Amino acid sequence: MEPIAAPQPSPPKPTPSKVEVKAPEPEPEPETWSPIPPLGENTEDYTDQPLPPPPAPEPEPLPELEEEFDFTDISLKIDMELKHIGWNSKRESEYLKRIYGKNKRMILGDREMKEFLEYLQTYAQTDVELKKVGWSAQQGKDYLKSQYPDSQGSRLMLTCSQMKEFLDYLQQTASSNEEFF
Protein backbone atom coordinates (compact mmCIF):
# COMPACT_ATOMS: atom_id res chain seq x y z
CA MET A 1 0.00 0.00 0.00
CA GLU A 2 1.09 3.28 -0.81
CA PRO A 3 1.16 5.95 1.73
CA ILE A 4 -1.43 8.64 1.29
CA ALA A 5 0.07 11.89 0.52
CA ALA A 6 -0.96 14.86 2.50
CA PRO A 7 -3.05 17.27 0.55
CA GLN A 8 -1.09 20.04 -0.95
CA PRO A 9 -2.24 23.52 -0.39
CA SER A 10 -3.64 25.05 -3.50
CA PRO A 11 -1.72 27.90 -4.91
CA PRO A 12 -3.03 31.27 -3.83
CA LYS A 13 -5.61 32.71 -6.14
CA PRO A 14 -4.83 36.09 -7.45
CA THR A 15 -6.85 38.71 -5.58
CA PRO A 16 -8.55 41.32 -7.66
CA SER A 17 -7.07 44.72 -7.21
CA LYS A 18 -9.21 46.98 -5.09
CA VAL A 19 -10.53 50.09 -6.77
CA GLU A 20 -11.21 52.93 -4.42
CA VAL A 21 -14.39 54.71 -5.24
CA LYS A 22 -14.90 57.95 -3.41
CA ALA A 23 -18.44 58.95 -2.67
CA PRO A 24 -19.28 62.50 -3.61
CA GLU A 25 -19.17 64.84 -0.68
CA PRO A 26 -22.63 65.72 0.52
CA GLU A 27 -23.71 69.31 0.15
CA PRO A 28 -23.99 71.12 3.45
CA GLU A 29 -27.59 71.26 4.66
CA PRO A 30 -29.07 74.51 5.84
CA GLU A 31 -28.62 74.96 9.53
CA THR A 32 -31.70 73.93 11.45
CA TRP A 33 -32.33 73.13 15.05
CA SER A 34 -32.40 69.44 15.88
CA PRO A 35 -32.91 67.77 19.25
CA ILE A 36 -30.17 65.30 18.26
CA PRO A 37 -26.69 66.68 18.86
CA PRO A 38 -24.23 66.43 15.98
CA LEU A 39 -21.92 63.44 15.98
CA GLY A 40 -18.30 64.19 16.59
CA GLU A 41 -15.24 62.07 17.14
CA ASN A 42 -16.27 61.45 20.72
CA THR A 43 -20.01 60.89 20.93
CA GLU A 44 -19.80 60.06 24.60
CA ASP A 45 -19.47 63.79 25.30
CA TYR A 46 -23.14 64.25 24.38
CA THR A 47 -24.78 61.34 26.14
CA ASP A 48 -25.02 62.86 29.60
CA GLN A 49 -25.85 66.41 28.53
CA PRO A 50 -29.48 67.62 28.53
CA LEU A 51 -30.93 68.59 25.21
CA PRO A 52 -31.21 72.31 24.57
CA PRO A 53 -34.75 73.66 24.73
CA PRO A 54 -36.51 74.02 21.41
CA PRO A 55 -36.80 77.57 20.13
CA ALA A 56 -39.83 79.41 21.41
CA PRO A 57 -42.61 79.57 18.84
CA GLU A 58 -43.41 83.02 17.56
CA PRO A 59 -46.61 84.29 19.13
CA GLU A 60 -49.57 84.47 16.77
CA PRO A 61 -51.27 87.85 16.55
CA LEU A 62 -54.46 87.96 18.56
CA PRO A 63 -57.61 88.48 16.55
CA GLU A 64 -59.40 91.71 17.18
CA LEU A 65 -61.95 91.22 19.87
CA GLU A 66 -65.32 92.41 18.74
CA GLU A 67 -68.17 92.92 21.07
CA GLU A 68 -70.80 90.26 20.83
CA PHE A 69 -73.48 90.97 18.24
CA ASP A 70 -77.09 90.64 19.31
CA PHE A 71 -79.22 90.86 16.18
CA THR A 72 -82.48 91.18 18.13
CA ASP A 73 -81.17 94.03 20.27
CA ILE A 74 -79.77 95.95 17.29
CA SER A 75 -82.96 95.38 15.31
CA LEU A 76 -85.10 96.73 18.16
CA LYS A 77 -82.88 99.80 18.42
CA ILE A 78 -83.19 100.34 14.67
CA ASP A 79 -86.99 100.09 14.95
CA MET A 80 -86.95 102.74 17.69
CA GLU A 81 -84.72 105.08 15.67
CA LEU A 82 -86.83 104.65 12.54
CA LYS A 83 -89.92 105.59 14.50
CA HIS A 84 -88.09 108.51 16.14
CA ILE A 85 -87.03 110.06 12.82
CA GLY A 86 -90.31 109.24 11.10
CA TRP A 87 -89.14 106.77 8.48
CA ASN A 88 -91.47 104.13 7.11
CA SER A 89 -90.44 100.70 5.81
CA LYS A 90 -90.35 102.00 2.23
CA ARG A 91 -87.84 104.72 3.12
CA GLU A 92 -85.74 102.22 5.09
CA SER A 93 -85.75 99.82 2.15
CA GLU A 94 -84.72 102.58 -0.29
CA TYR A 95 -81.78 103.56 1.92
CA LEU A 96 -80.62 99.97 2.44
CA LYS A 97 -80.83 99.27 -1.30
CA ARG A 98 -78.85 102.39 -2.22
CA ILE A 99 -76.11 102.01 0.41
CA TYR A 100 -75.79 98.24 0.88
CA GLY A 101 -77.46 96.83 -2.23
CA LYS A 102 -79.92 94.96 0.01
CA ASN A 103 -83.55 95.88 0.50
CA LYS A 104 -84.11 94.18 3.85
CA ARG A 105 -82.40 94.64 7.16
CA MET A 106 -82.56 90.88 7.80
CA ILE A 107 -79.90 90.22 5.16
CA LEU A 108 -77.42 92.83 6.36
CA GLY A 109 -74.19 91.60 7.92
CA ASP A 110 -73.25 92.41 11.51
CA ARG A 111 -71.13 95.43 10.59
CA GLU A 112 -73.76 96.74 8.20
CA MET A 113 -76.44 96.47 10.90
CA LYS A 114 -74.28 98.38 13.37
CA GLU A 115 -73.45 101.01 10.78
CA PHE A 116 -77.12 101.42 9.82
CA LEU A 117 -78.04 101.92 13.48
CA GLU A 118 -75.24 104.47 13.82
CA TYR A 119 -76.49 106.27 10.71
CA LEU A 120 -80.02 106.50 12.14
CA GLN A 121 -78.75 107.77 15.49
CA THR A 122 -76.61 110.38 13.74
CA TYR A 123 -79.58 111.36 11.57
CA ALA A 124 -81.62 112.02 14.72
CA GLN A 125 -78.77 114.10 16.19
CA THR A 126 -78.64 116.26 13.07
CA ASP A 127 -82.31 117.14 13.66
CA VAL A 128 -81.36 118.51 17.08
CA GLU A 129 -78.32 120.39 15.76
CA LEU A 130 -80.27 121.91 12.84
CA LYS A 131 -82.65 123.44 15.38
CA LYS A 132 -79.72 124.71 17.47
CA VAL A 133 -78.16 126.54 14.54
CA GLY A 134 -81.56 127.82 13.45
CA TRP A 135 -81.36 126.60 9.87
CA SER A 136 -84.43 126.28 7.73
CA ALA A 137 -85.00 123.10 5.74
CA GLN A 138 -83.87 124.97 2.63
CA GLN A 139 -80.59 126.08 4.25
CA GLY A 140 -79.87 122.45 5.18
CA LYS A 141 -80.60 121.29 1.63
CA ASP A 142 -78.41 123.99 0.14
CA TYR A 143 -75.51 123.05 2.39
CA LEU A 144 -75.85 119.36 1.54
CA LYS A 145 -75.99 120.11 -2.20
CA SER A 146 -72.84 122.24 -1.97
CA GLN A 147 -70.83 119.76 0.12
CA TYR A 148 -72.24 116.47 -1.19
CA PRO A 149 -73.42 117.00 -4.78
CA ASP A 150 -74.71 113.43 -5.07
CA SER A 151 -76.95 113.94 -2.03
CA GLN A 152 -79.53 115.97 -3.96
CA GLY A 153 -79.86 118.00 -0.76
CA SER A 154 -81.24 115.07 1.22
CA ARG A 155 -79.79 113.40 4.31
CA LEU A 156 -81.34 110.17 3.06
CA MET A 157 -78.73 110.16 0.29
CA LEU A 158 -75.74 110.47 2.65
CA THR A 159 -73.58 107.57 3.75
CA CYS A 160 -72.93 107.03 7.44
CA SER A 161 -69.53 108.77 7.27
CA GLN A 162 -71.00 111.73 5.36
CA MET A 163 -73.79 112.01 7.92
CA LYS A 164 -71.15 112.13 10.69
CA GLU A 165 -69.29 114.89 8.84
CA PHE A 166 -72.52 116.85 8.51
CA LEU A 167 -73.24 116.41 12.22
CA ASP A 168 -69.71 117.57 13.12
CA TYR A 169 -70.18 120.67 10.97
CA LEU A 170 -73.51 121.48 12.61
CA GLN A 171 -72.04 121.02 16.10
CA GLN A 172 -69.12 123.33 15.28
CA THR A 173 -71.51 125.90 13.86
CA ALA A 174 -73.75 125.67 16.93
CA SER A 175 -70.81 126.09 19.33
CA SER A 176 -69.46 129.10 17.39
CA ASN A 177 -72.97 130.66 17.49
CA GLU A 178 -73.06 130.18 21.26
CA GLU A 179 -69.81 132.14 21.59
CA PHE A 180 -71.52 135.24 20.19
CA PHE A 181 -74.25 135.22 22.85
pLDDT at 33: 56
pTM: 0.60
Average of per-residue pLDDT across 131-138 = 90
Range with the lowest mean pLDDT among 68-82, 126-140, 164-178? 164-178
In the predicted structure, residue 139 carries a pLDDT above the cut 70: yes
pLDDT at 17: 57
Secondary structure letter of residue 43 according to DSSP: T
Percentage of the chain beyond pLDDT 70 is 60
In the predicted structure, residue 113 carries a pLDDT above the cut 80: yes
Average of per-residue pLDDT across 61-74 = 70
In the predicted structure, residue 68 carries a pLDDT above the cut 50: yes
Ranked by mean pLDDT, the top range of 28-37, 46-55, 125-134 is 125-134
N- to C-terminal Cα separation, the chain: 156
Mark out the alpha helices in the chain (DSSP H runs).
44-47, 71-85, 89-100, 110-133, 137-147, 160-180
- Of residues 23 and 118, which shows the higher confidence score? 118
In the predicted structure, residue 93 carries a pLDDT above the cut 50: yes
Buried b / exposed e across 13-45, counting CB within 10 Å, b at 16+?
eeeeeeeeeeeeeeeeeeeeeeeeeeeeeeeee
Average of per-residue pLDDT across 70-96 = 94
Average of per-residue pLDDT across 79-90 = 95
Q: How many Å apart are CA 173 and CA 36, to the nearest integer?
A: 73
